[in-house]
Amino acid sequence: MNSNPTVLVIDDEQGAHQALTRLLESEFSVHPAYSGPEGLKQVDLIMPDLILLDMRMPEMSGLTVLKKLRQNDNNIPVIILSAYGNVGSAVQAIKLGAADYIEKPFADGKLRQAMRTILKGKQDIEQLSSQLGIVGKSPRIQEVWRLVKRYGSTDLPVLLQGETGTGKELFARALHEISKRHQGPFVPVDCSALPESLVESEIFGYEKGAFTDAERSKPGRLEWANGGTLLLDEIGNLPLIYQAKFLRVLQEQRYVPLGARKSRSLDVRLVSASNTDLKRATQHGSFREDLYYRISGVIIELPPLREREGDIEVIARYFVEKYGRKYRKPTLEISDEAMGLLLSYHWPGNVRELEHLIAGAVILANQIILPEHLALGPRKEIFTSGGNGTRSIRLELKFGCNTDKPIDLKKIKRKLAERAERLIITEVKKKVSLNQTELAKFLGLDPKTLRSKINNDSHSR
């Protein structure tokens, strides 16, 4: 008796059946169906473990077959195969419940690996969230996990959008870990940290002698990521000239290192991340529209911490425990008053800001974290004024509200905090001579967070 997994191939071409049977018969029990209706009948007869489904068939399309399978509450995993693939049809297939979408012609190993991964089952999300340190159970973050689980096993390009500090790189890693590429490399590239003069050599690599100081060849991030996942973090900062070059790479799945004479093949899954609205950036001309549509097959919006109901307390206690262990204060607790401050704060720096705050508080506290251990801001006075020449900033914020209607105190507090923050950054820049990295440290912010706030402020004017 054959114990191999049963695979049903639904395709109208005889040649496709012969090729797939030769490829798979040593590992799978392969059964053919030459049309959509015949395939649906075969499903009921043999109950396959997996279905390989051609997208274009004359009598009934692959998408129609997939719809009928799901309408009948049939949850057999389906891999769509198509020689006419595009991002739009791939996304549609995944939304209808396909487990993966593979374009013809494909490498033999790629299909077999995809089938093995799907049959083995996806990694448990709770285990993965614990492994990556992604904490929280709010409805907003559960929706993110639902999308990660749905699209993680595919090769569709994913765009993660969210404010700085919301965990975009962590969720990119999650997408990689539950993909069929999880045994391959995960290579992040921070586009905001690359000087324009180094973009080409860092991403594409270079050959010996490509320029004056090129004494030996150096592989770029594309070569590092081959067979795995490439994360282009803050892709909106990629200069336009390299946006065009990267678009060509994605279209042709080939690239040319600096100084090389021949192109090299590329096999990566692309995940992009941005803390700005790239769709709006295309309207301003700062981001190529054709590249935007190429990288945004799936868009996952990461919620800011202030919109993750119930998660602030859970995450804060997680970081108290984490840094309590690190700094040998395992019994450290957080007071109700300190927790109250955390719950009422706006969190412009999101989870990253909360982590840095708790880490500092753990160092300062002895047995319990009190309000005075939390370096929260903004405050009314930034510097203490004195007669010894100490510089100071005093903020006077005027606002009004209509008492004829219910008052949304949280909304008012949020707007005032944002306005105060903008004023503080502007005034400190005037009074303190520091570069942007030093200024970020002076303000207790991550440099990327400060850069984003300055850019957003300039765009809003």
Averaged pLDDT, groups of 10, the chain, 461 residues long: 81 92 92 94 90 91 90 83 75 85 82 84 73 92 90 90 95 92 92 89 89 86 94 94 93 90 92 94 93 93 94 95 93 93 91 94 92 70 42 59 70 78 78 73 79 67 52
Question: Domain 125-301 adopts which CATH fold?
Answer: Rossmann fold (3.40.50)
Strand ranges of the sheet holding 50-54, from the earlier edge strand across to the other edge: 29-33, 6-10, 50-54, 78-82, 100-103
Residue 78 has a pLDDT of 92
User: Furthest-apart CA pair in the chain: how many Å?
Assistant: 92
Decide if 303 contacts 345 (C-beta within 8 A): no
Fold category of 305-373 in CATH? Helicase, Ruva Protein; domain 3 (1.10.8)
Instruction: Classify residue 112 by burial, with Cβ atoms within 10 Å: 0-12, 13-18, 19+.
Output: middle
Q: Which pLDDT score is estimated for 460?
A: 55
Predicted local distance difference test score (pLDDT) of residue 386: 44
Q: Which DSSP helix (H) or strand (E) runs through 50? A: strand 50-54
* Per-residue pLDDT, 154: 84
CA 117 to CA 153: how far, in whole Å? 8
Specify the CATH architecture of the domain 6-120. 3-Layer(aba) Sandwich (3.40)
The pLDDT value recorded for residue 399 is: 60
pTM score above 0.75: no
Helix (H) or strand (E) holding 418: helix 409-431
Q: Can you give the pLDDT at residue 443? A: 81
* The pLDDT of residue 113: 85
Contact 419, 397 (CB under 8 A): yes
